[in-house]
Structure 1
Amino acid sequence: MTTAQTLLEAKELSKTFTTPEGKPFTVLDGINLKLREGEIVALLGRSGSGKSTLLRCLSGLIRPSAGEVRYRGQEVPGPMPGMAMVFQSFALFPWLSVQQNVELGLEAMGIPAPERRQRALEALELIGLDGFEKAFPKELSGGMRQRVGFARALVTRPEVLFMDEPFSALDVLTAETLREELLEIWHAQRMPLKAILLVTHNIEEAVLLAHRILVLSSNPGRIRAEVPVPLDHPRDREDPAFQGLVEQVYRILTAKPALEPPQEPIGIGYRLPKAPIEGLVSLLERVAEGPDFGREDLPRLAEEMRLEVDDLFPLLDAAELLGLAVLQEGDIRLSAEGLRFIQANPEGRRQILAERLLLHVPLLAHIHRVLHTRPSGQAPEERFLRELEDYMSAEDAEGVLAIATDWGRYAGLFEYDYNRGVLMREPVPG
């Protein structure tokens, strides 16, 4: 058992938002975690698990609805000295130079100008941006802008560094370079940095960087599992121990333990996974083409299709929802219907998907029924949006109807006039 000092602790942390329609929506529920000196911890989970919300609660950017967060034993009422954040979107002020962007946090802390300048230059040198002090963000590449984000966080000399998907907006090579440089800074101990809490949707990234991985469940977010990563840095992706940990995380994310809360019942208001039909078809085709026909290892599938958690799992959920595939122990296996779908010609695929949608997606069955009982064969999308808003926010309703429309059009259940916002049953051939 570790004896390292606890820097940050959350106890029974929950966060509930109110939708614009006035309905409560719980994002996080009963989170307990500790961040100790000398460790990098990764937060990993599917879309909707509340990873970024949890990071913002822990860093003091937003207040939890219940529970508490303490940094070195003190309650966290808001952003505090000793903690800093690196954002996914860089969040730089375009009208300020690189040096001015880095100095902002120090200015807010009341640091005198000469010291601000000296510390900013030191941070820029540490992060590899010396010589770019006078440049403006528009002159920099995405990787260089994220370096400015790192420098702006590190210049405050934090003990705890929060990172919200800091590499996800970068190309693969740039992201890999910045990960390596982050680890160099961590191991060189040139800063007072004592712990890092990283949100990511990249499983390999979590295993590359973290000493522990916390896997969150979704809707609401709860800590589902903790995965220790007992590997020394630098880590080799080809190491069987590394690959075994990646497999373990995939198994956790695809498992359906009995202790999980009951799944949301399938009804008109069911939140369909954000799975574009083209992506779903491509995934099924790739599984069918693999060396083990009709079955595939998820880590290999994700790597070959360049899909991360937030892209891959909605496709997997859709395949399961429609009865086209089964997830088990970190693998995906096509069902008999899935194999029939893949082997069919384009028209056959449309017919099979139409059958699956009407059988397994009540919203699409409802739309289909409405269109076929109206003499005009038409209905405004606003009618279905209003019905969905009985179950979810207006924004979520638009997203769910967009996915349903995408699936329904591919299957030939109806047509859609974008300019008028009208759904129409397809004309009978002949």
Structure 2
Amino acid sequence: MPGPVILSATDLTKTYAGAEGDLPVLSGVDLEVREGEIVALLGKSGSGKSTLLRCLAGLVPASSGSVTYRGEELRGANPGTAMVFQTFALLPWMTVQQNVEIGLEAQGMRTAERADAARKAIDLVGLDGFESAYPKELSGGMRQRVGFARALVVQPDVLMMDEPFSALDVLTAGNLRGELMELWTSGSFPARAVVLVTHNIEEAVMMADRVVVLASQPYGMIRETFAVDLPRPRGRQSARFEELVDAIYAVMMGAPPRPPEPSTPTKQTPANTPLPRAGVDGLAGLVEIVLERGGRVDLSDLSDDLGLEIDDLLGLVDGLQMLGLAAVRDLEIVLTPAGTAFARADVQESKRLFAVVVAEIPLVRLITNTLQRSANGTQRAGFFRDLLSHHYTSEQLEQQLETATDWGRYAELYSYHADTEEYRLHKEAIETRLDPA
């Protein structure tokens, strides 16, 4: 049974200043984390889950509301937490031993004591014998084990994990996740609670005692919380496991966004309309598969048939919905007339159809309009990075531009040259602009 409350957020709101006003990231979040539980923060890209994690860790201050650690309101970094990052974040010039000792050194622990504690943490995560190795000598899975050891060696009250397995291959991630759960259930886990950020539904159900689903529209609100009443170790094939996955998936995909008030219509902008991670090849492949199955298919069945996680399809599904090529109804993806036409078209016709729908996507429209107004039909990528920098993290920003670049290239609206980091209006568009007759 969960114990006393360690961490709590009350009416937590976080906004960032943007060119068009404040950008809401979290809105009115209430959350408690108790001793003896693993809490998963689940949501699509842009739902604010990583921001919420950083607010709980005291790394990002709240705009309003409060975060308390053992009853005391945070005024800076949370002394009871340690973080494991997606990108390992190891210092390449330091050995495994030295990387693990960093936190203890910052606490002022004596050399002999911190060396002994680091060796025990290294052994705990299965890296005994690699103390003198450098990060470049390690595989991705081993590097992430160092990240776990570095966080656990300080014996935090709460271990914070921000998508710690997403940079690993499937087999390595599954193995590391399983070992972590064995350590948790053994009673020798150094932390009293865990908060996990993930976009993977099955990962959340496999690991967590509670799954908190955040909505991306409206921004950063808790849509629903699920108690995971499954004994450990958990089997993916159990009926209850599948039932929970389906229920969470329905919440993430089925509930429509809250409509705006009639008096204050929301204008779609690159800031409030984030692009999913969805390449044109993936979008085209998915609509063809759905068309072959009669124009509609259950997404859970489709993911099983393809040997994928449901989460692997979410970006593509979001992309098709954004472009108006498909809709999700009762957990089925259904092609729209535009989607059916796109799936049946030859290459040139599919490009034309795609250009029609993608031209209305805010970031694609911004790039296209900027190029059309440029004297020579060009603009550096840095210009768009600067415009979006207040709305997205650097990693999110690159993903936004990557998707917009792929979509705009396929639609033949513009090209992108990596050597000069420059967008250029498509040749035919330039000719049309210069000679409209």
Shorter-chain-normalised TM-score: which range? 0.7 to 0.9
Q: Which runs of 5+ in 1 are unaligned?
A: none
> Secondary structure at the residue paired with 2:290?
helix
Picking from 174, 182, 185, the partner of 2:172 is 174
Matches within 5 A, 1:224-235: 224-235=223-234
> Per-residue deviation at 1:26?
2.2
The 8 Å contact of residues 294 and 334 in structure 1, kept in 2 or not, is answered as yes
The TM-score, its normalising length taken from structure 2, stands at 0.84
Distance 1:233 1:268 in 2: 43
Alpha carbons of 1:366 and 1:59: their partners in 2 closer, same or farther (altered >3 Å)? closer
In the alignment, structure 1 residue 287 sits paired with structure 2 residue 290: yes
> Secondary structure at the residue paired with 1:170?
coil
1:207-244 alpha-carbon deviations (Å, 9 max, x no partner) = 11011110111152111111111111111111121111
> Per-residue deviation at 1:411?
3.3
- Partner amino acid for 1:155? V
> Per-residue deviation at 1:425?
5.2
Picking from 201, 209, 224, the partner of 1:203 is 201
> Per-residue deviation at 1:351?
3.1
1:272-307 alpha-carbon deviations (Å, 9 max, x no partner) = 524322221122123234xx4322233444563746
Other-structure match for 2:142: 144
Other-structure match for 2:333: 332
1:27-54 alpha-carbon deviations (Å, 9 max, x no partner) = 1111110011221110011111111111
The 8 Å contact of residues 405 and 416 in structure 2, kept in 1 or not, is answered as no
> Secondary structure at the residue paired with 2:377?
strand
Other-structure match for 2:275: 273
> Secondary structure at the residue paired with 2:102?
helix
Distance 1:217 1:135 in 2: 42
- Partner amino acid for 1:336? P
> Per-residue deviation at 1:403?
4.4
The 8 Å contact of residues 91 and 149 in structure 1, kept in 2 or not, is answered as yes
In the alignment, structure 1 residue 407 sits paired with structure 2 residue 416: no
Other-structure match for 2:74: 76
Distance 1:367 1:114 in 2: 57
Picking from 33, 45, 48, the partner of 1:47 is 45
> Per-residue deviation at 1:171?
1.1
Other-structure match for 1:109: 107
Alpha carbons of 1:199 and 1:235: their partners in 2 closer, same or farther (altered >3 Å)? same
> Secondary structure at the residue paired with 1:230?
coil
Alpha carbons of 1:406 and 1:76: their partners in 2 closer, same or farther (altered >3 Å)? same
Alpha carbons of 1:183 and 1:406: their partners in 2 closer, same or farther (altered >3 Å)? closer
Alpha carbons of 1:109 and 1:324: their partners in 2 closer, same or farther (altered >3 Å)? same
Matches within 5 A, 1:305-384: 306=308, 309=311, 312-357=313-358, 360-361=360-361, 379-381=377-379
Alpha carbons of 1:355 and 1:178: their partners in 2 closer, same or farther (altered >3 Å)? same
The 8 Å contact of residues 16 and 28 in structure 1, kept in 2 or not, is answered as yes
Other-structure match for 1:421: 423
**Aligned residue pair count:** 418
The 8 Å contact of residues 368 and 425 in structure 1, kept in 2 or not, is answered as no
Alpha carbons of 1:400 and 1:144: their partners in 2 closer, same or farther (altered >3 Å)? closer
Percent of aligned pairs with the same residue?
46
> Per-residue deviation at 1:271?
3.0
The 8 Å contact of residues 94 and 137 in structure 1, kept in 2 or not, is answered as yes
The more displaced of 224-233 and 275-284 is: 275-284
> Per-residue deviation at 1:334?
1.3
Distance 1:281 1:208 in 2: 32
1:30-87 alpha-carbon deviations (Å, 9 max, x no partner) = 1110011221110011111111111111011222121111111122223344322111
Alpha carbons of 1:90 and 1:346: their partners in 2 closer, same or farther (altered >3 Å)? same
Output the aligned Cα RMSD. Answer: 3.5
1:9-42 alpha-carbon deviations (Å, 9 max, x no partner) = 11111122235x5953221111110011221110
The more displaced of 22-31 and 69-78 is: 22-31
> Per-residue deviation at 1:314?
3.8
Q: Which runs of 5+ in 2 are unaligned?
A: 433-437
Other-structure match for 1:95: 93
1:291-327 alpha-carbon deviations (Å, 9 max, x no partner) = x432223344456374674x64343233123321111
Other-structure match for 1:162: 160
Alpha carbons of 1:170 and 1:321: their partners in 2 closer, same or farther (altered >3 Å)? closer
Distance 1:149 1:399 in 2: 25
Other-structure match for 1:25: 23
Alpha carbons of 1:129 and 1:261: their partners in 2 closer, same or farther (altered >3 Å)? farther
